[in-house]
Amino acid sequence: MENHVIPFSPPDITEQEINAVVDVLKSGWITSGPKAALFEEKIKEYCAVENAMAVASNSQGMDLIFKVFEVSPDSEVITTPYTYVATSNTALHRGIKPTFVDLKKDSFFMDEEKLFDAINPKTKAIITVDIGGVPVDYDAIKAVLKAKNREDILLVSDSAHSFGAKYKGKRVGNQFDFHIFSFHAVKNLTTAEGGAITFDGDHGKENLKKIFKYTSLNGQSKDALSKMKAGAWKYDVLTDGLKCNMTDIAAAIGLVQLERYEQILQHRKKISNLYHQMFANKEWALLPFLEDGNTESSYHLYPLRIKGFTEEKRDKLIEDLAEMGIATNVHYTPIPMFTYYKQIGYSIKDYPNTFAQYENEITLPLYSILSLSDAEYIAENVIRMVEK
């Protein structure tokens, strides 16, 4: 019998998105222009925040914040070793070796007690990560800073996974100084590549949105739309900026996705709940992210952990499922395990709880064009293979 092939995370693109891109291509305005500006407004409304800034990627959004807030090589940046490298690379780009704080035992989130101990006079920024669509306990992190008398520290949430998630009844977007979302191809809402920074207030800088805007355009004082007006070619350069603006092509996809987003979230929730039901009575299954009343997930990932499994056993399970046509993944290989990070002095031995989360974790397919019958087929075969 031919295998039933189920990919891990294909994008959910309809004729609506295709038509929107064609309209932009025909309009003669394909880089940052009216669509990117409209997308920012819609994100602002959706997240109920004062400011939204569309960028070319989540990674570049983090770089932009660190650039504007002059996070320098003599500063210290604290983050988690359990994330994609984009989070920690931000510190390296500024000439800083990030300080990693181990996870809480049996949790995907940073240990607040260890975070308290890691903060020192040089700490300038903390980047937390919303894993799998579930927000970090933002208030618990803020309480650490208050207890340490360090509320001056820049709080940045890598919210790449949590667009549309809720924390204490409110959508993620202004609980910290800055949140950065990702709209990469595998994210819940996609613009192919892209991201957005959301924030309230100016954080001690006059007209921060404007500063972000010109810093994202190589430091030039006018965007392309302004410069195109007849006779308006003159511009100034105000800083040694980056180049990380979002194009109108990407924004057009995002605008359509945002219109469809509630349906997308609801379908993801159904799949997540189906997995929960199917694994609930399996004593070997460590279910991720059961709702705790404070948070509502955006159901970006389903990181199942398997009690008693070693890294080798988990890898074998991934291979067995792949042979059946079921693509799975691992979120995440801890950052200290990568060659580059080992070369600059990190060791996974220093992060035992992080390794324990990783070694028996397998991420199951979870996306808006995955049928419930396919999700059931995946779960049945995971159970069969584990219990074999």
Reply yes or no on whether 187 is catalytic: yes
3-class DSSP state for residue 378? Answer: helix
CB distance 112 to 59 below 8 Å = no
The token pair at 38 is 């409209």
3-class DSSP state for residue 129? Answer: strand
> Which residue has tokens 């004729």?
15
- Give the active site residue among 67, 124, 187, 213: 187
CB distance 111 to 79 below 8 Å = no
The token pair at 322 is 């792949």
- Round to whole Å and give the CA distance between 382 and 281: 14
Burial call 133-162: b when 16+ CB within 10 Å, e when fewer:
bbbbbbeebeebbeeeeeeebbbbbbbbbb
Cis bond before residue 82 (omega within 30° of 0): no
Longest Cα separation, the chain = 73
The pairing of strands 285-286 and 302-306 is antiparallel
**CA distance from start to end of the chain:** 21
Q: 263: which residues sit within 8 A by CB, 6+ positions away?
A: 368
- Round to whole Å and give the CA distance between 38 and 254: 10
Active site residue ranges? 187
